[in-house]
Structure 1
Amino acid sequence: MSTAEQVTEPCAHHGEGPVWVDRWPGLRWVDMLAGDVLTLDERSGSVHRRHVGSVVAALRPCRDNGAVLALERGFALTDDDLAGVRPLPELWPDSGLRMNEGGCDPDGRFYCGSMAYAETPGAGGLYRLNPDHTVSSVLTGVTISNGLAWSPDGTTAYYVDTPTRTVDAFDYVDGQLSRRRTLVEIESDAGAPDGLTVDAEGHLWVALWGGGAVRRYTPRGELDEVVTVPVPRVTACTLGGPRLDELYITTSRVATDTTRHPRAGALFRIGLPVPGLPPLPYAPTRESERTPGSSQGTTGPSGSSE
């Protein structure tokens, strides 16, 4: 067992979704409920903040330049410097629902899952932004859609619906998720699974909300390592740094006694012997890049939450 070190001041009310992209440069994450994207200046340790919407749940690089965002009720595109946010049409009118966490598949599609602000069971889903900017419903009946990542060979997707207390695996082929099964079960006194990432050996790093830790699991679901974090609400993690061998960990001040845990909301980091993988990018079609948002539409589920 090892302990992560604090990198920043408590700069996020609800830090989430870290991702390392060299050209941005470096690490970005979100202060989700503030609608801000945070960028770490590695040289000074300072954090730069850019407001992009009422909520920003996740971001990933686009294939050649720019970024794709998940906002409160849909997707958006922006430049590498986060200027000129271009929202795509909203996916639902209900102000009681919001996006929560996402990631890209090996074929360049961007996914993000939703949840009710009231955490209503089954009210959320998982949505896929296709390269032509159409949107597909992938899973329904989700409560708190959370971590999503792929194995190094791209054949397996790992997914968290937090209240299930499990990390599930799916077979993945060309945008389709199938054969859902439980890979990891988190015991009730250890916190609940939140965001996750996968390293170059195919091991999963799972953040534990309420557990003050990130755990590493083998591709067979066996516990391999524990990194402790000195605050309870650990939200997500990613491998970054010039060699992708530093685990960056985001945390939250939501429902936290900040007198007891004054470092809640800070970014933490620990060096690892195993590197990560570059983030999978969103790959819009050339036509959609010229006319962002013009071909938006929603189709039914391609998978099942059963």
Structure 2
Amino acid sequence: MTEILATGFGLPEGPVYDEIEDRVLVTDASGGGVWAVQLDTGEKSCVVEHRKGIGGLALHADGGYIISGRNLAWKRGDETFTLLDQAFGSPTARYNDITTSPEGGVYAGSIDYDLQTGKVHHLGDLHYVSPTGPSRVVASGIELTNGLGVSPDGSTLYHVDTGPRVLYRYDILDADGSLSERQVVIHLPDGTPDGIAIAASGHVLVAVGCHGAPGFISVVAPNGTEDDRWIMPYEHVTSLCIGGRDGRSVFVTMGGTAKADERLGVVARIDQQVEGLPRPRTRVRPV
């Protein structure tokens, strides 16, 4: 059974579980803002207003949120600190999914893609924002950057490129965020792979949207085997996270569209139990 926790989103994305407040934070890429869904009451509230195009979200150790979009920024109360300027100097460029490293850094993928025409203007990069130094590009040649996540032992970065419908892995070479050459983990040709979550077992849970068929979560082992596939009640499945007081609940964003005037997206808890791990809070600061 799927439990709908909150409705009325345009394009819900980037869910993160906040273990201190027992809530799921989610962005609305088309409707705008960052929203908190309180798990004990179901209350939905806006914690970052207005901004649209946010595909990724992380919690900061000193309060506030790292959010993607036209730039990468730290929002804390009324303060905004820019961490990465708009990529490529292009008006259609933005940062999409992000994740945190065990050292408190942030990996962020850049994308320059026109939603109206489907044209890719520039291949994207993976950026690493260090908690102790400047940011830098650690990988390039990405068509449509999406889900990012770090393995439980901190040695591997997983990354979805939606263009070729591939989940990649990189070895994390150093605490400065350096990466090896990418390796294919699995091709996912049956739909559009998007966001990911990492289970304590090392499995990668990949949200896959479909057109004309139900979307699904692909449960991928580190060796590239698809061990399971969970069918969702919506075609458009964008992302997920693991959390809850027991650390085993799976929260999924789905049902949304890129149309600003539609509010069909939901945040749901699905009937699967998977042990997760808390995502490190970042400690990055503007240089």
Alignment RMSD: 2.4
In structure 1, what is the equivalent of residue 107 of structure 2?
111
Structure 1 residues 65-104: Cα deviation after superposition (integer angstroms, max 9, x where no partner): 313423323222233xx54333346244321111111101
Q: Say whether residues 1:218 and 2:239 are aligned partners.
A: no
Judge conservation of contact 2:24–2:36 (CA < 8 Å) in 1: yes
2:98 to 91, 99, 102: 102
Matched with 1:304 is: none
Report the more deviating stretch, 227-236 or 266-275: 266-275
Q: Distance in 2 between matches of 1:192 and 1:71?
A: 21
Please tell me the residue identity of whatever aligns with 2:228. Answer: E
Residue 36 (1) aligns with residue 33 (2) = yes
* Selected match of 2:184 from 170, 182, 185: 182
Q: 1:145 corresponds to which letter in structure 2? A: T
C-alpha displacement at 1:179, in angstroms?
A: 3.3
5 Å-filtered alignment, 1:157-306, equals: 157-174=157-174, 175-187=177-189, 190-210=190-210, 212-254=215-257, 264-284=264-284, 288=285, 293=286, 295=287
Between the aligned partners of 1:244 and 1:83, the Cα distance in structure 2 is 31
The residue number in structure 2 matching 1:12 is 9
Q: Number of aligned residue pairs: give it.
A: 275
TM-score scaled to structure 2, two decimals? Answer: 0.87
Q: Distance in 2 between matches of 1:132 and 1:120?
A: 36
Which residue number corresponds to residue 81 of structure 2?
Answer: 86
The answer to whether the 8 Å contact 1:68/1:75 transfers is: no
Q: Per the alignment, in what secondary structure is the counterpart of residue 283 of structure 2?
A: coil
1:211-236, Cα deviation, whole Å (9 max, x unpaired): 51111111111112222221111001
Residue type matched to 1:220 in 2? N
Percent identity, please: 27
| TM-fit CA distance, 1:139 | 2.2
State the TM-score, normalized to the length of structure 1. Answer: 0.82
Match of 1:208, SS state, is strand
CA distance, structure 2, for counterparts of residue 61 and residue 255 of structure 1: 25
Shift of the 88–186 alpha-carbon distance from structure 1 to 2, 3 Å rule, reads closer
Q: CA deviation at 1:132?
A: 4.0
Give the AA of the match of 2:92.
G
Shift of 1:264: 4.0
- Structure 1 residues 106-137: Cα deviation after superposition (integer angstroms, max 9, x where no partner): 22111111222315344322222111462211
Matched residues in 2 for 1:83 and 1:171: separation? 37
In the TM superposition, residue 152 of structure 1 has moved relative to its aligned partner by 0.8
Q: Distance in 1 between the 2:84 and 2:152 partners?
A: 32
**Is the Cα–Cα contact under 8 Å of residues 150 and 158 in structure 1 kept in the other structure?**
yes
Structure 1 runs not aligned, ≥5 long: 296-306
* Distance change in 2, residues 1:4/1:217 (3 Å): farther
Which letter maps to 1:179? Answer: E
Q: Which amino acid aligns with 2:225?
A: E
Deviation, structure 1 residue 265: 0.6
Instruction: State the one-letter code of the partner of 1:143.
Output: E
In structure 2, what is the equivalent of residue 120 of structure 1? 119
Distance 1:275 1:71, change over 3 A: same
Give the match's secondary structure for 2:56. Answer: strand
Residue number in structure 2 paired with 1:151: 151
Deviation at 1:25, TM superposition (A): 4.2
1:47 is the counterpart of 2:44: yes
Matched with 1:137 is: 137
